[in-house]
Copies of this chain bind each other. A is one copy, B any other.
Amino acid sequence: MMFTGLSAFPLTPLTDDSVDEAAFTALVQRLPAAGVDSITAVGSTGSYAYLSAAERARVIRLAVEHAGQTPVFAGIGALRTSQVLAQAEAAQSAGAQALLLAPVSYQPLTDDDVFELFRTVTAEVSAPVIVYDNPGTTRFTFSTQLYARIAQLPRIASIKIPPPSTDPDAARARIQEVRDAVPAGVSIGVSGDAAAATGLLAGADAWYSVIGGTLPDPTVAITRAAQRGETEQALALSEHLAPLWSLFGEFGSLRVTAAVAEQLGLAPKNCLPLPILGLDDDARARVAEALKLIEQNQNEQVV
């Protein structure tokens, strides 16, 4: 089942305002090696909203070339429906096996706008579509009822929901509520890396992961532990990454993940598209410290 387990979202690093193809390729190559279940190229983490159509197509093609047997999904969101349709066609041509669609907005959108967007797109494409609910970037809030309307459409394969509660019972109730609202077979994936272990343990099928694109090994480990029902182990492995979760809360997951990749030599410095500035030197020092702490946590685990 393609929409389960860990979907890793690689950054799209830029150098001098152009896609750094070598850095992107190297990021992608780590993912099948770590055993991720899928790769989502040009997701929010991959800065899709900032890239030109040509850049997006190139990035998807590179991901497909270097993903081996791992399926590649691609973000197709754009402000105008006709642009979304063009992105969908380009993504399919580039080899994307599924399409991730967020209701990107400038003018606030209504439920009917968003339903019609998904209706139009699913009527045109051949690949499965993932509903991408990310109110922190789109500023659109889905109701459970709107999930239900959209999930009835053909080709809707999965819904990426915002982080569920870190309370296990509340997370389980929320995921069951979404599951009850959508047809059987529509997978439910969580985002919000800090709460992902709880989400998977609470019954989510998938984890759509920002940090998974840059640190695939520990995120695969969390996912596998959760899938085996090893509650304590999954939560402990997630807790190892707590220094990162804390920085995510403070600076946002994208800027911190970019700093992690830069610190590890996986991306050039200031790899995000301007106007998004990289973290300042103080914050970068804290990222380096967090990575050291995580390494210690992981070594203690092995001992």
List residues of A whose CB falls within 8 A of some B CB.
Answer: 17, 44, 49-50, 79-82, 103-104, 106-110, 112-114, 116-117, 120, 136-137, 139, 252, 254, 273-277
| CB <8 Å contact, B107 and A137 | yes
Bound CA–CA A271/B284 (angstroms): 47
Pairs across A and B, CB under 8 Å, 26 listed: A17-B82, A44-B107, A49-B79, A49-B106, A49-B107, A79-B273, A80-B274, A81-B274, A81-B275, A82-B274, A104-B106, A107-B137, A107-B254, A107-B276, A108-B136, A108-B137, A108-B252, A109-B276, A112-B277, A113-B275, A113-B276, A113-B277, A116-B275, A116-B277, A117-B274, A120-B274
| CB <8 Å contact, B114 and A275 | yes
Bound CA–CA A112/B277 (angstroms): 8
Bound CA–CA A105/B202 (angstroms): 33
Contact of A137 among B80, B106, B113 (CB under 8 A): B106
Identical copies of this chain, number:
2
Bound CA–CA A214/B246 (angstroms): 49
| CB <8 Å contact, B136 and A103 | no
Closest to A254 in B: B107
| CB <8 Å contact, B50 and A275 | no
Closest to A112 in B: B277
- List of B residues within 8 angstroms of A80 by Cβ: 17, 50, 273-275
Bound CA–CA A262/B181 (angstroms): 38
Contact of A277 among B50, B110, B252 (CB under 8 A): B110
Closest to A253 in B: B107
| CB <8 Å contact, A107 and B17 | no
- List of B residues within 8 angstroms of A82 by Cβ: 17, 274
- List of B residues within 8 angstroms of A50 by Cβ: 79-80, 106
